[in-house]
Amino acid sequence: MSEIPNFKDILSAHERIKPFIHKTPVLSSESINKITGTSLFFKCENLQKVGAFKFRGASNAILQLNEAQRKKGVATHSSGNHAAALALAAKNAGIKAYVVMPENAPEIKKKAVKSYGAEITFCTPTLEARESTLQELIKQTGAVFIHPYDNSQIICGQGTAALELLQNKNDLDIVMAPVGGGGLISGTAIATKGLDTKIKVFAAEPEMADDAYRSFKSGMLLPSVTPNTIADGLRTSLSELTFKIILNKVDIILTVSEKSIIKAMRLIWERMKIIVEPSSAVPLAAILEHSLMFEGKKVGIIISGGNVDLSNLPF
């Protein structure tokens, strides 16, 4: 599982999942370009199935199961988009999915996972409970554990978003993605450098969950202790695998304040007329905070997802 994938693996993943995913549009906004002094190209994975890039990785993993594994099904623990993505990809393939969720997960996410037919086991909301409940479940069912990011098949799937972006727009100076557990930025970096080593890969991370920034700077894997950011998709910490890829392929990690995340999120909603979750706004927040670094540049941004509770907006 923990092998570092290469560019060819991402090309293969793309061929594999292409019939099952949305080829999401790449959108631009003249007014955001004017505000930032850049040319931005947003790859809209909020418009992907289940509303997040996670469907790419989950599909790539599901489609590589052998017959014996297909019979046992897949399992994961997640309170977020990976759970919904795995549930839908499994359902489409006629495979059983088991999801361990903390009992305090948002009602809307429980409903989404259930609507895709996954079997949910609730546990107390601690990492220990999630892991032990999952272990127990796997022992009972024999299901294959599909980790949300510490898994090279998942990383390859996530990298296909940047691949499509660069196939659409090949003269970018920089490609950016947010970093949480590191699956998206790892796949993005392998795809981008595989196509053109001259293109820079920038990761963007909330200050309040800056384990990737600190790890990158120190050269040692330093997990977050109590991450507390509005960007709920980015509270996870890097794994050994994603850290290795990031050290090797990412050019820079920029951190941003909570205020900038909300400002950038609102800017995208107002000017682009698309719904993005806070995590998706983190790269634009970095451009707003570090504007000189981006002046005059052509920047591709992976918009990671659009799953927000409309009754509970930060503006």
Binding region for its own copies (CB under 8 A) = 25, 27, 30, 46-47, 49, 51, 266, 269-270, 272-276, 306-307, 310-311, 313, 315
Place of tokens 């993943």: 13
Amino acid identity at 276: V
Separation CA 172–CA 178 (nearest Å): 17
Residue closer to its own copies, measured from CB, 131 or 270? 270
Task: Tell me the closest approach of the beta carbon of residue 275 to its own copies, in angstroms.
Answer: 4
Residue closer to its own copies, measured from CB, 115 or 140? 115
Residue closer to its own copies, measured from CB, 35 or 252? 35
Other CB atoms within 10 Å distance of the CB of residue 313: 12
Task: Tell me the closest approach of the beta carbon of residue 202 to its own copies, in angstroms.
Answer: 24
Separation CA 300–CA 45 (nearest Å): 13
Other CB atoms within 10 Å distance of the CB of residue 244: 16
Task: Tell me the closest approach of the beta carbon of residue 35 to its own copies, in angstroms.
Answer: 11
- In sequence order, which residues have a C-beta less than 8 Å from that of residue 30 and are 6 or more positions away? none
Secondary structure element (H or E) that encloses residue 222, with its range: none
Separation CA 62–CA 116 (nearest Å): 15
What value, to the nearest 5°, has the Cα angle with vertex 287 and ends 283 and 291? 170
Amino acid identity at 308: V
Backbone angle region of 116, left / alpha / beta, with phi > 0 → left and psi within -120 to 50 → alpha? alpha
Task: Tell me the closest approach of the beta carbon of residue 183 to its own copies, in angstroms.
Answer: 20
Residue closer to its own copies, measured from CB, 204 or 276? 276
Residue closer to its own copies, measured from CB, 55 or 213? 55
Task: Tell me the closest approach of the beta carbon of residue 49 to its own copies, in angstroms.
Answer: 7
- Would you give the DSSP letter of residue 208? G
- Residue 120: helix, strand or coil by DSSP? strand
Token pair listed for 96: 């059983």
Task: Tell me the closest approach of the beta carbon of residue 269 to its own copies, in angstroms.
Answer: 6
207 contacts 253 by C-beta, under 8 angstroms: no
Residue closer to its own copies, measured from CB, 145 or 269? 269
Task: Tell me the closest approach of the beta carbon of residue 10 to its own copies, in angstroms.
Answer: 24
Residue closer to its own copies, measured from CB, 198 or 273? 273
Task: Tell me the closest approach of the beta carbon of residue 47 to its own copies, in angstroms.
Answer: 6
Residue closer to its own copies, measured from CB, 116 or 243? 116
Quote the distance between the C-alpha of residue 143 and its chain's center. Answer: 23
